[in-house]
Amino acid sequence: MSLATRASAVAPTRSIKWSWHAFCSEGVEGSAFLCLGGQGTTGMDIGLMMDADYRRGQTEWQAFEAALTTADLAERLGFDGVWLAERHFSPPGGTALISSVGSAPLLLATAIATRTSRIRIGTAVLLLPLGHPVRLAEEVATLDHLSRGRLDLGIGRSSFPRAYEGYHIPYGESRERFREYLEVMRLAWTQPRFSYTGMFYTCQDLEVIPKPYQQPHPPLHQAAATRDTFATIGTMGLALLVALIGTPLSQLATVIAEYQTAWRAAGHPGRGEVRLRLPIYVADTLDQAQADPYQSVMAYYERLRQGYLRSAQRFDNAEHATLAVQLATLTYEEVMRERVLFGTPNHVVARLRALQQTLGLCGIIIEPNVGGDLPPDRVARSLDLFSQDVAPRLREKA
């Protein structure tokens, strides 16, 4: 049965069994370490992922209103932060992976900052190559002030060329643009005046204000989607964002170890900072936790497969071609085992504690509605169970 066929099939009714013994016996060496910007030895930093979902039947304003309400809920439930995606050209019913109004995450983050007082606000991630480095530096610094230093800046390039086509920027330039733009932004934040000569940007004796509220700048977190990126991020000395939905559980220990090895080799103190973005759904019973998200999750992976296939065909991307083939035979049992954490509060706590201990995680970023098709009341119930019965136990001192 194809993935597309399975996505429309009836959800499984029997509980799927997980096996953790092999994973937990092959973790990252010396994984218990003090996080540079997270909770460290006092527990796990817990964030909530926000895609600014745009559902069929909604107006665009209703989609924004729902996102703002979600941020309010996250602060009320005690989450440490919200993390905003950047999504372009993603209307409902289109070919985008997620339908979203989140094309301007810094603006949405500013709106959230004005209506909250405690919660940190992150981007996951801001696509640097699609912007102008000086303009981004100014806007990030402004947001940092308006939030009174509550900004976490997650940055990346995106694995898909779709947005780059809309901006008429060659995806093949994205890696070098990312490196260059980040250099310019750091100079703009830390130097009274600076000059720069690069392949894509040049300036002479430029003075950029405001400087960030947090010094020398907001915490930087870079997303890793390909194997070679993990070591690069470690060498650069940036905090790591990794998504379980794109990097299966069986590969996590290996790639995080590569990040930490590169971190130490570059002479940075400690082992770095790792946050794991992962789908979590909590319900009163294990059967319900597995059955409720089934349709949404499998439809999501079918769209992901189609996205990889289009990328492989249009841009001759061999890696995406391989991923499309792998996803074509993906089963829900494999998804449950490798890519999501769905279960009762006790089950989710046990799995997260194992991940924290084995990988040395500073924090997690919860994706509460993979695929965007779970009813809002069920998402709210899951978050309520998580905040009451899971989060307090994760924050207990080691």
163-210 residue pLDDT tens? 999 999 999 999 999 999 999 999 999 999 999 999 999 999 999 999
Give the domain CATH number at 301: 3.20.20.30
- As a whole number, the mean pLDDT across the chain is 90
Residue 314 has what pLDDT? 84
Domain that residue 52 falls in: 3-394
Residue 3 has pLDDT above 80, yes or no: no
Residues 318-341 have a mean pLDDT of: 94
DSSP result, 100-141 = B--S-HHHHHHHHHHH-SS-EEEEEEEEGGGS-HHHHHHHHH
Q: Who has greater pLDDT, 141 or 12?
A: 141
The pLDDT value recorded for residue 19 is 37
pLDDT exceeds 50 at position 83: yes
The total number of structural domains in the chain stands at 1
Res. 41 pLDDT band, cuts 50 70 90: very low
Q: How many Cα atoms within 13 Å fall on the side-chain side of residue 227? A: 5
The per-residue pLDDT for range 214-253, each reduced to its tens digit, is: 999 999 999 998 888 999 999 999 999 999 877 888 899 9
Report the pLDDT averaged over residues 364-375.
95
Three-state secondary structure along 162-217?
Answer: HHHHHCCCCHHHHHHHHHHHHHHHHHHHHCCCEEEECCCCEEEEECCCCCCCCCCC
Name residue 206's beta-bridge partners. 194
Query: 397: pLDDT confidence band, cut at 50, 70 and 90?
Result: low
- pLDDT confidence band for 378 (50 / 70 / 90): very high
Q: What percent of the chain has pLDDT over 70?
A: 89
The predicted pLDDT at position 56 comes to: 87
Q: What is the reported pLDDT for 283?
A: 99
The 10s digit of each residue's pLDDT in 119-135 is 999 999 999 999 999 99
Average of pLDDT values for 88-94?
Answer: 91
pLDDT tens for each residue of 24-34: 434 554 443 34
Q: What is the reported pLDDT for 34?
A: 41
Mean pLDDT of 340-351: 98
